[in-house]
Chains A and B, each alone.
Chain A
Amino acid sequence: MSRKKTYAPVAYDASGHDAGPQPLEGEAGQRSTIGTDVLTYEQLDELGRELDAIRQRVLDDLGQADADYIRRVIKVQRAFEVLGRVGIFMPFFWPAFLAGVAFLALAKILENMEIGHNVMHGQYDWMNDPALDGVTYEWDIVAPAQDWKHSHNHVHHTYTNIHGMDRDIGYDLLRIDDGQKWYPNHRFNLPLAFVLMLIFEWGVMSHGVEYGDYRAGRISKEEFEGQKQRAWRKIRRQVVKDFVAYPALALPLIPFVGWWAPLAVMGGNLVANVIRNIWSFLIIFCGHFPADVQSFEEEAAKGENRGQWYLRQMLGSANISGSKLFHVMSGNLSHQVEHHLFPDIPARRYPHIAPEVREIAQRYGLQYNSGRFGKQLLSVARQLAVYGRKPDDPYMVGNSPESKALRRAKREEEARRREAEKAATMAA
């Protein structure tokens, strides 16, 4: 008995997926000024059309090769993970133990970056495979998928590098851009960044819980409580796995190896997690914070057209050049520019379209940020050091008397405006 659907469309058609975020809205008719210093609105429209065409061409071409690729990556990841767990289980033979730590770290890197991050962008939704479904996928890191997707896919990818909107600029902790106000804790930019690097997965998790936003009244109590609860549940599962369950499996080793066998397993897992933290931190910081990357003001971004949105993504990201293996291990986020232009097409396609994007950038006279890993890393470190110093301009210092006066003036003006509005409605 055939049960025909009354409809033709396929479950997750990639061509219609994530058709592009809504632009920020300003006053009626307000047009964004982004990119207008180098291009006219007509040119920006044309830029949008050209990039849209690339995206559509790739989406139309998705098929077996992309499915085979991600399945192969998953197979390798699973094999690495099993090898890692087995190796760490042999603390009595240190070469196997060290190899185990390395394999587990590689497995976690692959799972988080090339699989988890990309799947949760919806890059493989078109396959309609429940195991690769961006909505339900959960990754091997303490940050719960749902809240990460909100702060990453929605906030960071839509309002990329807009001050006050993209919370990924400095992660509310570091001063990495001259548009950010300076506070005394930024003196410790470099050491803070170093600590964040070691515990990066916890940073990502707390970023998604949005405690600061709750304290500032930007999100409701219910929202905050939900995020907190999900985070706790995920933390428990991750901690139980790596620091309770696997060490407990090593208890029978004690008579043969010594009392420290479970502790060695625990330590091996910890080191693997930290290696993953360091690697993902470095890739992400090199993708957004080298000196050449631009940031934007909220007011200028209001009323963007498609081309301006693309332009902001392009100028707000930086690529890292490297070998094929390097690209895979970075989840192809070494092609941060292409990823930000087209976050929902399978990442393995980024290297293929990169030459075209670079050519377009050249033709329009736009900067296409790219550099070796070492160069980008050095640039990020220099940025952290430079912006950690107290600026001469008192208005850039967050708690200077001048800044405080400015904020007070703004508050008072806002209050006056509201009074006037109230009076006007009363009169009416």
Chain B
Amino acid sequence: MGVIRRMLASKAVGSLTSPHSIDHYLEHVHPMLTVSEVRARVVRVIRETGDASTVVLRPNGAWRGFVPGQHVQFGVEVEGKRRVRVFSVSSSQANRDGTFSVSVKAHPDGYVSQFLHTGLAPRTIVHLSQAEGEFVLPDVVPDPLLLLSGGSGITPVMSMIRTLRDRQHRGDVTFLHYARSRDDEMFTAELDALADAGVRVVRVYTRQPAPGAELAGRFHVDHLKHLGIDAADTLTYVCGPAGLIASVRDTYAELGAAEQLRAEYFKVPSVDLDAADATGTLTFDTTGTEAENSGATILEQAEAAGLSPAYGCRMGVCNTCAVKKLHGAVRHVVSGEVCASTDETIKVCVNVPVGDVAVAL
């Protein structure tokens, strides 16, 4: 298949199908028959908890696989309209049956996550991107390793621990997870089984603590001490709500172990609206519009000004909203990094202006 796929994706074939792509023809033979567009068929939908489900997908040949910890853009069509959200892969990389899964917690006002939980039928075809993201295990897994998660942030580290289990990884791995209660926790049975098999799985139920649990409450430096983890030489992956990540990040900074920490948010942290740098004017150069900097992201401000720039994930992942910043400084809302060069491409969904900024919108 590899040779045929390469041939179909070649420039020569492209010159015959121009201005369209070969996929625009092949998809009419069969919707899963595409060369570069990733599509997948829903195999089944598994209820994990009252509001979380796992969707098992069988991708077509365009899928290049994933590394545990990566996420994928997931597009589903409802009433003629495609809705795209980004979800983490939760399954093991060692799956041999050609499927993988994403796990999703239904959000009260998240249309796609609700739909996945209640309306997604097996055999539906969904539109995917290739797996993306830098929140991945290194090729050689170091010893010791801490996988730390909160709430539905468990999904990427679940993919990691499943992969390590299936590869019969013998290193020192600690899986520390915070959930509100046992009922609210995803993958409970599998985590129990992992614990029985000798993996160090520690779960902390913050609202309804389990009787006799070794740890209680929210994440605290004492939890690490109790587990005998030395942050300075433990590679740590943390995924969860912004509050958890902030407190883990502060703890690691205090312990002088910041470079051991890999973090992934599942929500863009809300922007501090009265930040001192919400000054200046935001200029939308292409449309000739201007707005007083409100401190919100450039995408939000553009929308407030009546523009409709393209966007996808709204969290700095998919690059759909990337535009040229002509001049001025912007601050990344996740990393806090400030970019001030002229003529650079930025993602407007995760950047706030610092003073006067002009973008090509």
Query: Which A residues contact B (CB, under 8 angstroms)?
Result: 1-13, 16-17, 62-68, 74-75, 78-79, 82, 126-129, 131, 135, 138-140, 234, 237-238, 240-241, 245-246, 249
Cα distance A61–B37 when bound, in Å? Answer: 30
Contact status B110-A5, CB under 8 Å: yes
Selected from A1, A140, A249, the residue in CB contact (under 8 A) with B88 is A1
Q: Is the CB of A67 within 8 A of B80?
A: yes
8 other A-B residue contacts (CB within 8 Å) besides A1-B152, A63-B81: A2-B104, A10-B81, A12-B308, A63-B80, A82-B25, A128-B82, A131-B24, A240-B18
Residues on B with C-beta less than 8 A from A138 are 19-20
Q: Do the beta carbons of B156 and A128 come within 8 Å of each other?
A: no
Which B residues form the contact surface with A (CB < 8 A)? Answer: 12, 15-16, 18-20, 24-25, 28, 71, 77, 79-88, 90, 103-107, 109-110, 113, 152-156, 239, 266-268, 270, 300, 303, 308, 310-315, 317
Q: Are A241 and B308 neighbours in the complex by a CB distance under 8 Å?
A: no
Question: Inter-chain contact count A-B, CB under 8 Å?
Answer: 118
Q: Which residue of A lies closest to B264 (CB)?
A: A1
Chain B CB within 10 Å — which of A4, A68, A245 has the most? A4
The listed residue with most A CB atoms (<10 A of its CB), out of B19, B86, B104, B303, is B19
For the complex, give the distance between the alpha carbons of A348 and B317 in Å.
36
Q: Which of A2, A128, A237 contacts B83 (CB 8 A)?
A: A128
Q: Whole-angstrom distance between the alpha carbons of A12 and B87 in the complex? A: 21
CB < 8 Å neighbour of A4 from B18, B103, B107 = B107
Which of A3, A64, A74, A79 has the most chain B CB atoms inside 10 A of its CB? Answer: A3
Nearest first, the 6 closest Cβ-Cβ pairs linking A and B are: A67-B80, A1-B155, A138-B19, A1-B88, A128-B82, A2-B105
Is B80 a contact partner of A6 (Cβ separation < 8 A)? no
Kindly identify which residue among A3, A82, A129 contacts B82, using a CB–CB cutoff of 8 Å: A129
How far does the alpha carbon of A65 sit from the alpha carbon of B79 in the complex, in Å? Answer: 8
Q: What residues on A are CB-neighbors of B87 within 8 Å?
A: 1-3
Given the known A-B contacts A127-B82, A129-B82, are A17 and B308 also in contact in the complex, defined by CB atoms under 8 Å?
Answer: yes
Which residues of B sit under 8 angstroms from A13, Cβ to Cβ? 308
* Distance (whole angstroms) from the CB of B111 to the closest CB of chain A: 8
User: Hey, which chain A residues are within 8 Å of B300, CB to CB?
Assistant: 7
Q: How far is the CB of A203 from chain B (nearest CB, A)?
A: 19
Q: How far is the CA of A345 from the CA of B356 in the complex (A)?
A: 37
* Chain B residues positioned under 8 Å from A78 (CB to CB): 24-25, 28
B182 → chain A, closest Cβ, in Å? Answer: 19
Q: Which residues of A contact B315 (CB under 8 A)?
A: 3, 5
What separation, in Å, do the CA atoms of A246 and B15 have in the docked complex? 9
Contact partners of B267 in chain A: CB under 8 A: 3-4, 6
A1 touches B15 (CB 8 A): no
Max count, chain B CB within 10 A of own CB: residue among A7, A140, A240: A7
Contact B81 A3 (CB under 8 A): no
* B82-A1 in contact (CB<8A): no
Select B113's contact among A2, A66, A75, A131, beta carbons within 8 Å.
A2
Contacts of B12 in A (CB 8 A): 245
Kindly state the separation between the CA atoms of A249 and B15 in the bound complex, as whole angstroms.
12
The answer to whether B85 touches A3, judged by C-beta atoms less than 8 angstroms apart, is yes
